[in-house]
């Protein structure tokens, strides 16, 4: 078998997942070695936690969705099963700030789509005009499946009106992508709704049909279980909670992967400065030296991948550069809970842009996950920035702290000082799936397919969340391992 050397560029969760997969193949006897290059002096990229006085503070992501299995699966493989901590869904409720008043999301909202008549009719979140539009939405005609991509704002406004974009779609997407509903692609961000529209016309009718199917499937599974039957292949039991985290913070995932990697395979503080294709493979320039590799998995943000691939394939480089990014800032404020006024019920609140505030969202961390906050403490995590307020990133910490203190005072009536305050900045960290994203990704894949030994992974391509980045990192590595096995069998003597 030909010995394979692979360079992984970027030690965020995608690069770590790729390295872990290559390490598994190496440990199982595959003839290979790998080097993970990370420009910062720590691994994890956006994943970073700190424990202060027995309280876990997440600088970046605080959890992952359980609906996508790759996150929990990897944690279990790494022996972290006893650290997995579900979200406290008994208290799950999200509020929207409207005219400085907290309004809970009405019951029955599924993916921005109202499915229950009474809560929708009674909620003060929407005006009468919007509620009438929501009723008439049941008559919305289908849109052809091959219609051009459009923005999430255009899709939502066509069905439910501009107020639903302002009070629901935009704040929800700001919370996830730091993004703008007027720029994000409906096909990439809400593919299920686009499918439903082409089949049913009305999103409410589509969602109700999907819910009936889900209920029938769950009833069928329950019936079979009651009769002692095994679940069918591919059938998953309904997730018990929406989110999952790790008891000691998301950093545990980073540390657990790092501990599995072969000593000497990680180079921290070593940015890859240049990447070239050679007659036999790839050449990587980092730390002042050029080294030869057979394969490269680029797990840096797309803008950094674009710079590295400029000389290799200008079209690929330009298409990567076309993927926009947003920046965000998180502030964790730790309080003595007894000194806080009563907080609204639930996990936190979202702030529509029309409120004219700097804060995009706030999580009541001590409620979302139990057992990660020291007794008697409360942690409020504020998000600032996003595409509409990028300039905040260059403000000094004191200015950001003052903004959050003032907005907490005005919104929540908090007058006490936090016992601890932590500011984290994430410049150009979140890829934005702008209108036309899927076509852009198709062009990127076509170009990558012409470059043997090159793989791309990370949040720019096919899913922004941690489980998607893990899935893509592992898949890139698995494909390289498989290609090595194919080339080996092709070189075996026949007969
Ligand atoms: C504040 C915040 C909150 C989030 N919350 C959640 C959440 O709750 N749940 C969830 O699922 N997702 C969340 N996300 C999204 C998720 O965390 C990210 O999409 C994911 O971690 C991205 O991983 P990645 O490996 O693609 O990229 P990154 O984490 O950005 O890693 C890329 C790495 O490449 C390195 N690099 C760049 N250029 C080079 C170079 N030339 N040479 C070497 N190294 C290089 C960088 O230093 C970086 O470490 C959040 C993101 C942020 C920023």
Distance from C-alpha of 138 to C-alpha of 203, rounded to nearest angstrom: 8
Cα–Cα separations (whole angstroms), residue 179 to 31, 162, 252: 43, 17, 28
Look at residue 188 and tell me whether its pLDDT is greater than 70.
yes
Distance from C-alpha of 306 to C-alpha of 311, rounded to nearest angstrom: 10
Name residue, tokens 């913070």: 249
pLDDT of residue 238: 46
The protein residue with its alpha carbon nearest to ligand 1, atom 35, reads 10
DSSP H helical ranges for 290-361:
302-308, 314-321
Sheet strands side by side (includes 4-9): 266-267, 32-37, 4-9, 295-298, 454-456
| Closest by CA position to 388, among listed 177, 150, 186 | 177
Look at residue 234 and tell me whether its pLDDT is greater than 90.
no
- Residue 423, sorted as left (phi over 0), alpha (psi -120 to 50) or beta, turns out to be beta
Angle between helices 466-491 and 13-27 (to 10 degrees): 40
For range 7-33, the mean pLDDT: 98
Look at strands 295-298 and 454-456 and give their pairing.
Answer: parallel
Specify the length of the chain in residues. Answer: 495
Give pLDDT tens digits for 82-108. 999 999 998 899 999 999 999 999 999
Look at residue 305 and tell me whether its pLDDT is greater than 50.
yes
Environment class of residue 224 by beta-carbon count within 10 Å: exposed (0-12), middle (13-18) or buried (19+)?
A: middle
Q: What angle do CA 194, 195, 199 make, to 5 degrees?
A: 120
State CA 343 to chain mean position distance. Answer: 27
Q: Does residue 38's CB lie within 6 angstroms of at least one atom of ligand 1?
A: yes
Q: What percentage of the chain has pLDDT greater than the value 90?
A: 87
The alpha carbon of 139 and the centre of ligand 1 are apart by a number of angstroms equal to 42
pLDDT of residue 216: 85
Look at residue 396 and tell me whether its pLDDT is greater than 80.
yes
The alpha carbon of 62 and the centre of ligand 1 are apart by a number of angstroms equal to 13
Give pLDDT tens digits for 365-395. 999 999 999 999 999 999 999 888 889 999 9
Mutation choice for ligand 1 from 466, 467, 471, CB with most ligand atoms inside 8 A: 466
**How many other CB atoms are found less than 10 A from the CB of residue 151?**
20
Q: In sequence order, what are the beta bridge partners of 101?
A: 98
DSSP H helical ranges for 12-107:
13-27, 70-77
| Closest by CA position to 10, among listed 429, 437, 480, 448 | 429
Q: Atom of ligand 1 at shortest distance to CA of 472?
A: 26
Give pLDDT tens digits for 245-304. 999 999 999 999 999 999 999 999 999 999 999 999 999 999 999 999 999 999 999 999
Cα–Cα separations (whole angstroms), residue 286 to 4, 45, 313: 19, 18, 20
Mutation choice for ligand 1 from 38, 45, 48, 254, CB with most ligand atoms inside 8 A: 45
Q: What percentage of the chain has pLDDT greater than the value 70?
A: 95
Distance from C-alpha of 253 to C-alpha of 83, rounded to nearest angstrom: 10
The confidence band for 495, taking pLDDT boundaries of 50, 70 and 90, is very low
Distance from C-alpha of 364 to C-alpha of 347, rounded to nearest angstrom: 5
The protein residue with its alpha carbon nearest to ligand 1, atom 10, reads 465
Look at strands 32-37 and 101-104 and give their pairing.
Answer: unpaired
Whether 490 and 4 have beta carbons less than 8 Å apart is answered as no
Q: Atom of ligand 1 at shortest distance to CA of 329?
A: 1
Distance from C-alpha of 10 to C-alpha of 85, rounded to nearest angstrom: 28
Which range (46-50, 225-229, 435-439) has the least confidence? 225-229
The alpha carbon of 296 and the centre of ligand 1 are apart by a number of angstroms equal to 19
Q: Does residue 328's CB lie within 6 angstroms of at least one atom of ligand 1?
A: yes
Look at residue 226 and tell me whether its pLDDT is greater than 90.
no
Q: Does residue 46's CB lie within 6 angstroms of at least one atom of ligand 1?
A: yes
Average pLDDT, the chain: 94
Q: Atom of ligand 1 at shortest distance to CA of 304?
A: 38
Cα–Cα separations (whole angstroms), residue 348 to 149, 169, 356, 379: 32, 17, 18, 11
Give pLDDT tens digits for 314-337. 999 999 999 999 999 999 999 999
Distance from C-alpha of 397 to C-alpha of 425, rounded to nearest angstrom: 10
pLDDT of residue 448: 98
Mutation choice for ligand 1 from 36, 46, 300, 306, CB with most ligand atoms inside 8 A: 46
pLDDT of residue 178: 85
The alpha carbon of 12 and the centre of ligand 1 are apart by a number of angstroms equal to 5
pLDDT of residue 285: 98
pLDDT of residue 220: 80
Q: Atom of ligand 1 at shortest distance to CA of 464?
A: 19
Look at residue 194 and tell me whether its pLDDT is greater than 60.
yes
Look at residue 236 and tell me whether its pLDDT is greater than 50.
no
The alpha carbon of 340 and the centre of ligand 1 are apart by a number of angstroms equal to 33
Q: Does residue 330's CB lie within 6 angstroms of at least one atom of ligand 1?
A: yes
The alpha carbon of 97 and the centre of ligand 1 are apart by a number of angstroms equal to 29
Distance from C-alpha of 58 to C-alpha of 373, rounded to nearest angstrom: 11
The beta strand positions in 223-371, using DSSP E, are 243-246, 266-267, 272-277, 282-286, 289-293, 295-298, 325-336, 348-350, 359-364
**DSSP characters over 453-477:** TEEE-STTTS-SSHHHHHHHHHHHH
For range 25-39, the mean pLDDT: 97
State CA 368 to chain mean position distance. Answer: 17
Look at residue 492 and tell me whether its pLDDT is greater than 60.
no
For range 298-313, the mean pLDDT: 98
| More reliable by pLDDT, 490 or 286 | 286
pLDDT of residue 493: 47
Look at residue 233 and tell me whether its pLDDT is greater than 90.
no
Q: Does residue 64's CB lie within 6 angstroms of at least one atom of ligand 1?
A: yes
Distance from C-alpha of 51 to C-alpha of 354, rounded to nearest angstrom: 35
**DSSP characters over 472-495:** HHHHHHHHHHHHHHHHHHHHSPP-
Mutation choice for ligand 1 from 50, 61, 174, 325, CB with most ligand atoms inside 8 A: 61
Give pLDDT tens digits for 46-67. 999 999 999 999 999 999 999 9
């Amino acid at each position: 078998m030909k010995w394979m050397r692979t360079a992984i560029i970027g030690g965020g969760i995608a690069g770590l997942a790729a390295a872990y997969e290559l390490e598994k193949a190496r440990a199982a006897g595959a003839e290979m070695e790998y080097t993970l290059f990370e420009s910062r002096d720590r691994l994890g990229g956006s994943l970073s936690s700190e424990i202060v006085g027995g309280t876990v503070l997440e600088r970046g992501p605080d959890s992952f969705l359980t609906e996508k299995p790759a996150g929990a699966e990897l944690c279990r493989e790494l022996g972290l099963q006893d650290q997995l901590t579900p979200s406290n869904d008994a208290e799950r409720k999200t509020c929207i700030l409207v005219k400085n008043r907290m309004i809970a999301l009405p019951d029955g909202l599924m993916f921005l789509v109202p499915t229950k008549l009474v809560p929708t009719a009674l909620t003060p979140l929407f005006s009468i005009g919007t509620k009438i539009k929501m009723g008439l939405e049941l008559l919305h005609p289908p849109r052809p499946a091959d219609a051009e991509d459009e923005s999430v704002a255009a899709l939502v406004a066509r069905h439910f009106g501009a107020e639903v974009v302002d009070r629901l779609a935009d704040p929800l997407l700001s919370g996830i992508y730091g993004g703008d509903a007027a720029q994000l692609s409906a096909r990439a961000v809400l593919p299920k709704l686009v499918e439903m529209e082409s089949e049913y016309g009305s999103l409410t009718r589509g969602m109700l049909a999907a819910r009936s199917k889900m209920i029938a499937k769950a009833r069928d599974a329950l019936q079979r279980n009651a009769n002692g039957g095994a679940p069918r292949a591919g059938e998953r039991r309904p997730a018990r909670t929406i989110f999952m985290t790790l008891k000691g913070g998301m950093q545990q995932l980073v540390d657990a992967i790092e501990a599995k990697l072969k000593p000497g395979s990680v180079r921290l503080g070593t940015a890859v400065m240049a990447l070239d294709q050679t007659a036999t493979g790839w050449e990587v320039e980092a730390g002042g030296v050029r080294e030869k590799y057979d394969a490269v998995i680029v797990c840096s943000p797309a803008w950094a991948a674009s710079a590295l691939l400029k000389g290799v394939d200008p079209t690929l480089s330009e298409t990567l550069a076309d993927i926009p990014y947003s920046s965000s800032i998180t502030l964790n404020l730790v309080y003595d809970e007894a000194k806080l006024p009563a907080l609204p019920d639930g996990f936190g609140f979202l702030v529509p842009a029309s409120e004219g505030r700097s804060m995009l969202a706030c999580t009541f961390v001590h409620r979302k996950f139990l057992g990660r906050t020291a007794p008697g403490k409360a942690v409020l995590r504020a998000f600032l920035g996003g595409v509409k307020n990028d300039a905040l990133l260059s403000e000094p910490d004191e200015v950001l702290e003052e903004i959050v203190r003032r907005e907490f005072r005005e919104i929540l009536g908090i007058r006490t000082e936090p016992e601890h305050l932590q500011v984290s900045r994430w410049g150009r960290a979140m890829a934005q799936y702008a209108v036309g994203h899927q076509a852009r990704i198709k062009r990127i894949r076509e170009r990558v397919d012409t470059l043997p030994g090159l793989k791309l992974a990370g949040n720019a391509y096919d899913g922004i969340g941690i489980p998607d980045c893990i899935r893509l990192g592992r898949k890139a590595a698995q494909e390289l391992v498989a290609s090595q096995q194919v080339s080996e069998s092709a070189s075996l003597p026949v007969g």
